[in-house]
Amino acid sequence: MAQIHLIHLLSLLTFFSLSTAARFPAVIVFGDSTVDPGNNNAIDTILRSNFPPYGRDFKNAVPTGRFSNGKLPTDFISEALGLQPLVPAYLDPACSIENFTKGVAFASSGAGLDNATSNLLTAMSLGEEVEYFKEYQHKLRKYVGKSRANYIVNEAVYIVSIGTNDFLSNYFTMFTGRFLQFTVDKFEDFLVSHAAEFLTNIYKLGARKILFAGLSPIGCLPVERSTNLIREGQCKTMFNEVARNFNAKLQRMIADLGIKFPGLRLIYGGVYDLFSEIINNPSRYGIENVEDGCCATGKFEVAFLCDSRHPLTCRDASKYLFWDAFHPTEKTNYLIGDVTLHLILRELI
Ligand SMILES: *[C@@H]1O[C@H](CO)[C@@H](O)[C@H](O)[C@H]1NC(C)=O
Ligand SMILES: *[C@@H]1O[C@H](CO)[C@@H](O)[C@H](O)[C@H]1NC(C)=O
């Protein structure tokens, strides 16, 4: 059953890559580690993953800086749209503007909607990501000419994935003081207003087809299960409730902004239900473990703690929902990419 399901999905991807090639000239990505292909390799931060076993399932096992054993959802989407098989990182020193005409990622692992999140985790802020987007446009105009550059910027599909760190690393850890400053409800409003500010900024810079991803059940990440002191090993239901509330507010903001700006097609990309579906029916997807990360003990290890010499690291990551204690496996990223691609093809073309 699981095999049939996957083959079905793969054939859909192939089908779409044939029929939609050239409908979108580029995939442009903003956000955090869920979509960062390695920008953090080039900045001063401890939040990196450019060493084994990260990237283990790439050809030659290249650790690119992606927080997974292989590709990210945005890579699968780019490939299925007939663009590049991997979306390059804007700060990759091996790349220049010629490598970015079909897509580029400005995302930075550890980034949040709240600047305090990015500061805490020594990531680029979303504002810095936008500054690089401006620089990119400038270079693109020089490289392909003004009218082609404008076409790429206007017709590209924009994918934004951010917000988990604002809750799990910032608000609920109490490291930044936001916990004292806001109720969780007000903090959600604060984040949504900054998401709106960001979307307005990229709209003004020419973005017209945008998918903004919501949060997953953040209380079910391995690191949250293993720090659940009330019900050991279980999801933190309160965190999941926060994610659902936040997602609902995000959806309302997205609907409002979509009406406010002429020519803007802005959609919400929900991944919450997909995660719940996999957690409830893992065998349907050939998955055996939805609780622990594959890397090391799978309970808390992320970044430099996910060490290639750890004896407990799993053999077959495709049987796991999570790769490390925080991030999905390539298998899960494929499923996210598939669901997201369907939304893009239905709503943004
Ligand atoms: C960048 O593009 C150039 C020219 O097309 C190519 O030779 C090079 O391999 C690309 N670099 C990367 C890292 O993809
Ligand atoms: C982050 O800082 C920028 C300027 O550096 C500001 O425009 C933006 O509103 C700030 N966002 C948050 C969430 O504090």
- Report domain extents, the chain: 25-347
Indicate the burial class of 15 (C-beta count within 10 angstroms; 0-12, 13-18, 19 or more).
exposed
Query: Residue 349's pLDDT band (boundaries 50, 70, 90)?
Result: confident
Question: Is the pLDDT reported for residue 1 higher than 70?
Answer: no
308 is catalytic: no
Ligand 1 pocket, 101 CB below 6 A? Answer: no
> Which helix or strand (DSSP H or E) is residue 209 part of?
strand 209-213
Q: Which pLDDT band holds residue 14 (cuts at 50, 70, 90)?
A: low
Task: Tell me, in angstroms, the distance from the centre of ligand 2 to residue 115's CA.
Answer: 6
Residue 289 near residue 320 (C-beta atoms within 8 A): yes
Q: Is 94 in the pocket of ligand 1 (CB under 6 A)?
A: yes
Amino acid at 152: I
From the CA of 300, how far away is ligand 2's center (Å)?
A: 30
DSSP state of 249: H
Q: Is the CB of 99 under 6 A from ligand 1?
A: yes
Nearest ligand (C-alpha, residue 101):
1
Q: What is the dihedral of CA 309, 334, 270, 152, to 10 degrees?
A: 110
pLDDT tens digits along 48-75: 999 999 999 999 999 999 999 999 999 9
Residue with tokens 């990196």, as numbered in its chain = 48
Backbone φ and ψ for 69, nearest 5 degrees, come out as -85, -10
Q: Six-digit token pair at 109?
A: 């692992």
State the closest ligand 1 atom to the C-alpha of 94, by its place in the atom list counted from 1.
13
* Fold category of 25-347 in CATH: Rossmann fold (3.40.50)
Question: Quick check: 6 pLDDT over 50?
Answer: no
Q: Judge whether 266 and 254 are in contact, CB under 8 Å.
A: yes
Q: Find out whether 324 and 48 touch, Cβ atoms under 8 Å.
A: no
- pTM score of the predicted model: 0.94
Q: Which tokens go with 59?
A: 């050809």
pLDDT above 80 (res 15): no
If you take atom 4 of ligand 2, which residue's CA is the nearest one?
Answer: 127
The catalytic residue among 33, 118, 125, 161 is 33
Compute the distance between CA of residue 143 and CA of residue 28 in angstroms, rounded to an integer. 17
